[in-house]
Amino acid sequence: MSDIEHRILLRRRAIGFAAGIGAALLLVCGYLFFLQVVRGVEFRTRASSVARREIPIPAQRGKIYDRTYRQVLVTNRPAFSVDLVPGEVPAGELPDLLERLAGQLGVEPHQLAERVPRHMRHLFRAVELKRNVEFAAIATLAEQIDSFPGVTWHSEPARDYGVIGSLAHVTGYVGDVTREELQVLFNEGYSSGDVVGKSGVEKRYEPVLRGSDGVGQRTVDVHERAVTDVWETAVAPRPGSDIVLTIDWRLQRAAEVALGPRVGSVVVLRPTTGEILAMVSYPWFDPQTFIGDGGPAAFSAAASDPGFPFVNRAIRAAYAPASVFKILMMTALLEERIYSPSRSVMCRGRFAYGDRIFNDWVREGHGRIDMDDALAQSCDIYFYQAGLALGIGNIADYSVQFGLGAPTGVDLPGETAGSVPTPAWKLRERGTGWVGGDTVNLSIGQGYITVTPVQIANLIAMVANNGEIYRPHVVKEIRDGETGDILHKTERELLHSSEISDATFAAVRDAMRRVITVGTAKPVITTDAVAVAGKTGTGEVGLEDQWHSWFAAYGPYGAADRDEQIVVVAMVEAVNVWEWWAAKAANLIFHAAFSGQTVAEAVDYLRPWYGDAVFNPLRPEGEEEAEAEAAGAEGGEPE
């Protein structure tokens, strides 16, 4: 190879090597550009996450209002939680610190020690020691903070139920999420220590009320020690939505006072919409007592109370409907044309069927009696015979048409379906065949049939509405928790439309009015504020001189505008001393609803008919004045 060729070869190699180096440098520069510019944001975020720690910023839970959106029933109050950063406590001083801190917080030292297990005592991560700490305790800690290394606190909202009284079954209450609940709710963003609705609206509308927690960030070093004391808000919390109930606060108070300290329940319903204007179940619980240091003890006491205060008897307790069932029986008799209204039956106080004797509640009997008077005077003998003529098939069919034996779909958890007995039902549930005596008992609302007070409210609504039942509900609106804008409005939902004729319902309404004017309810329905139509019921429970007391009615009877009407159902259990109280309670509720008087004024007005009867305590004087102003502004009738 000549020198010239050799030099050309070397030059080519040098150029190739330089090109290779240049290409490699270009590739490296390109990759660096890709890492630093194209993916720079991603890596900066990763680096930041390594150097920063996050904590949740609790969101405000949505408030709960009455139907006017003016009366706040359930809200939130500022509360404090005390935290400890174990790694900031000098070695060997943790037991002494926890003992002194327990004295400040009013708890036992072992309760705090349990919150800081040994495997966490070297960490520089905050551990929550106690929730719902009063401001006074926080102020004391702040004054002595140098004596409590590693102790901090933060603010978080706590539920405030005020004095909602009987409305506790509707609003419900909240509590810490349990391990079992967390297994279901973990994928929905819940974690240990979160608060969740346990009953009532708080539970049914948990996703609406909850809100979205925010995120706070703080820079830490490799040992988890805080570099700065300032938490920055990375994501702001969003409060939960507010709920506006259908509850009329004045009617709720009237129902609460009217029922008094008697085991039972009251439902007040708007029949044309299904709105529940009042719902009372006694005894009730006080959810405010479940918050704070005494919360666990208060909850345990309520849970073990033999009166079962957690049971909302308006929707969860099922009873025999007694003579209120005769409204359904009369409807079936007329519609099926089994009996004409003028047909009379001789009532001598006793009815023999097979080898049994069935008695009337009037021992000497009512004499000859037709259909209208049979309902007005609640003649058992008439309906014994009418029930046998109708047959169990017709009675069961009409029971289903009236919504019995199935949940109403009210927007509260835990509703009971009740039962409508049939031959198939008895064979399945009791293992025996149906007999004629079962039909006789069923004809007066006794025997195996069970209903809830809210189902009876729907039964009365169906009569008042000419065959239409609307789903009962307690939530009127859902509003934005920040702006107050309406996010959702509950529209009335037709639950059932019957083919029973308007003429039949008109005849039944007239007969229900006679119950008040000349029948069994005449001595106790004394209000002159509104014309009432209804039915009394006295349910046997196998105890001497003790009966369930029912009264179910609507008013105003004959109203030109049916939207003015309300349904009132009162049920007083047989465990109470017999006072025939259900009708008396309804009398006070109707009077308070339509007289324009405050609850206290209505009680005073009706007192001559009540004697020394016991009512629940009324509101303090200032609240009564506010109620009077509200009554005047609303014209004295439920909104």
Average pLDDT over every residue of 258-265: 94
Separation CA 433–CA 264 (nearest Å):
33
Residues 236 and 257 occupy one common structural domain: no
pLDDT band at 626 (very low <50, low <70, confident <90, very high): very low
Residue 47 lies in a domain: no
Residues 7 and 80 occupy one common structural domain: no
How many Cα neighbours within 13 Å face the side chain of 542? 2
Q: Are strands 264-269 and 276-282 parallel, antiparallel or unpaired?
A: antiparallel
Q: What is the pLDDT of residue 227?
A: 54
**Closest alpha carbon to 279 in 115, 472, 408:** 472
Residue 507 lies in a domain: yes
Token code pair at residue 71 = 């009366």
pLDDT band at 241 (very low <50, low <70, confident <90, very high): very high
Helix (H, G, I), strand (E, B) or coil at 480: coil
Q: What is the pLDDT of residue 466?
A: 96
Residue 140 has pLDDT above 50, yes or no: yes
Q: What is the pLDDT of residue 40?
A: 64
More confident residue, 346 or 626: 346
**Closest alpha carbon to 550 in 298, 265, 179:** 265
More confident residue, 565 or 98: 565
pLDDT tens digit string along 535-545? 999 988 777 77
Identify the DSSP state of 161. -
Residue 434 lies in a domain: yes
Chain-centroid distance of CA 260 in Å reads 21
How many Cα neighbours within 13 Å face the side chain of 607? 10
| Domain-ending residue, one of 245, 275, 296 | 245
Average pLDDT over every residue of 113-137: 79
What Å distances lie between residue 539 and 110, 372, 373, 515, 580, CA to CA? Answer: 54, 21, 20, 17, 11
* Least confidently predicted of 290-299, 460-469, 609-618: 609-618
Average pLDDT over every residue of 252-274: 96
Q: What is the pLDDT of residue 617?
A: 61
Residues 215 and 257 occupy one common structural domain: no
Helix (H, G, I), strand (E, B) or coil at 523: coil
**Closest alpha carbon to 318 in 277, 369, 265:** 265
Separation CA 454–CA 472 (nearest Å):
8
* Least confidently predicted of 267-271, 492-496, 587-591, 616-620: 616-620
Separation CA 606–CA 587 (nearest Å):
9
pLDDT band at 622 (very low <50, low <70, confident <90, very high): very low
Which amino acid, one-letter code, is at 41? V
Residues 34 and 180 occupy one common structural domain: no
Q: What is the pLDDT of residue 228?
A: 58
**Closest alpha carbon to 553 in 597, 599, 584, 507:** 584
Q: Is there a contact between 259 and 570 (Cβ–Cβ < 8 Å)?
A: yes
Residue 46 lies in a domain: no
More confident residue, 294 or 217: 294
Q: What is the pLDDT of residue 628?
A: 39
Residue 223 has pLDDT above 70, yes or no: no
pLDDT tens digit string along 420-467? 999 999 999 999 999 999 999 999 999 999 999 999 999 999 999 999
Which ranges of 402-501 does DSSP label H, i.e. alpha helix? 423-430, 436-442, 453-464
**Rg of the chain taking only CA atoms, in angstroms:** 35
The whole-model pTM stands at 0.83
Helix (H, G, I), strand (E, B) or coil at 370: coil
Residue 510 lies in a domain: yes
Residue 55 has pLDDT above 70, yes or no: no
* Least confidently predicted of 14-18, 126-130, 322-326, 485-489: 14-18
What Å distances lie between residue 409 and 273, 571, 578, CA to CA? Answer: 14, 20, 32
Q: What is the pLDDT of residue 254?
A: 95
Q: What is the SS3 string spanning 455-479?
A: HHHHHHHHHHCCCEEECCECEEEEE
What Å distances lie between residue 11 and 5, 6, 16, 19, 21, CA to CA? Answer: 10, 9, 9, 12, 15
Q: Is there a contact between 473 and 408 (Cβ–Cβ < 8 Å)?
A: no
Burial 344-357 (b: 16+ CB within 10 A, else e): ebebebebeeeeee
Residue 120 lies in a domain: yes
Owning domain of residue 110: 53-245
Q: What is the pLDDT of residue 221?
A: 56
* Least confidently predicted of 9-13, 149-153, 573-577: 9-13
Separation CA 115–CA 62 (nearest Å):
30
Helix (H, G, I), strand (E, B) or coil at 74: strand
Separation CA 202–CA 322 (nearest Å):
34
Burial 419-455 (b: 16+ CB within 10 A, else e): bbbbeebbeeeeeeebeeebbbbbbbbbbbbbbbbbb
Residues 517 and 540 occupy one common structural domain: yes
Backbone phi, psi, residue 281, to 5°: -135, 125
More confident residue, 392 or 30: 392
Burial class (CB in 10 A: 0-12, 13-18, 19+), 471: middle
Separation CA 322–CA 378 (nearest Å):
10
pLDDT band at 46 (very low <50, low <70, confident <90, very high): low
* Least confidently predicted of 96-105, 213-222, 252-261, 275-284: 213-222
More confident residue, 408 or 213: 408
Average pLDDT over every residue of 126-147: 80
Separation CA 397–CA 438 (nearest Å):
16
Residue 48 lies in a domain: no
Asked if the bond preceding 283 is cis, omega within 30° of 0, the reply is yes
Average pLDDT over every residue of 357-366: 92
Those residues whose C-beta lies under 8 Å from the C-beta of residue 575, and which sit 6 or more positions away, are 263, 546
Helices 326-336 and 453-464, packing angle to 10 deg: 40
Residue 569 has pLDDT above 50, yes or no: yes
Separation CA 279–CA 167 (nearest Å):
7
Q: What is the pLDDT of residue 624?
A: 43
Residues 320 and 357 occupy one common structural domain: yes
Which ranges of 1-59 does DSSP label H, i.e. alpha helix? 3-33, 40-51
Average pLDDT over every residue of 560-584: 91
Backbone phi, psi, residue 55, to 5°: -130, 150
Residues 183 and 256 occupy one common structural domain: no
For the chain, what is the domain count? 3
Q: What is the pLDDT of residue 619?
A: 46
* Least confidently predicted of 373-377, 401-405, 460-464, 545-549: 545-549
Residue 411 lies in a domain: yes
Locate tokens 């039972």: which residue? 264
How many Cα neighbours within 13 Å face the side chain of 532? 32
As a 3-state breakdown, the chain gives helix, strand, coil percent values, each rounded to 5, of 40, 20, 35
| Domain-ending residue, one of 225, 245, 265 | 245
Residues 175 and 262 occupy one common structural domain: no
- What percentage of the chain reaches a pLDDT higher than 70? 86
Residues 268 and 391 occupy one common structural domain: yes
Average pLDDT, the chain: 86
Residues 423 and 538 occupy one common structural domain: yes
Residues 238 and 284 occupy one common structural domain: no
**Closest alpha carbon to 265 in 316, 203, 325:** 316
Token code pair at residue 69 = 């959106």
Q: Is there a contact between 553 and 494 (Cβ–Cβ < 8 Å)?
A: no
Token code pair at residue 139 = 């102020």
CATH code, domain with 295: 3.40.710.10
Q: Is there a contact between 373 and 510 (Cβ–Cβ < 8 Å)?
A: no
Q: What is the pLDDT of residue 182?
A: 84
Separation CA 148–CA 105 (nearest Å):
13
Separation CA 39–CA 56 (nearest Å):
28
CATH code, domain with 90: 3.90.1310.10
Residue 366 has pLDDT above 90, yes or no: yes
Cα 545–Cα 548–Cα 553 angle in degrees, nearest 5: 135
* Least confidently predicted of 68-72, 123-127, 358-362, 451-455: 123-127
Average pLDDT over every residue of 127-147: 80
Q: Is there a contact between 608 and 577 (Cβ–Cβ < 8 Å)?
A: no
Residues 147 and 184 occupy one common structural domain: yes
pLDDT tens digit string along 76-113? 988 888 888 887 788 888 888 888 888 888 888 888 88
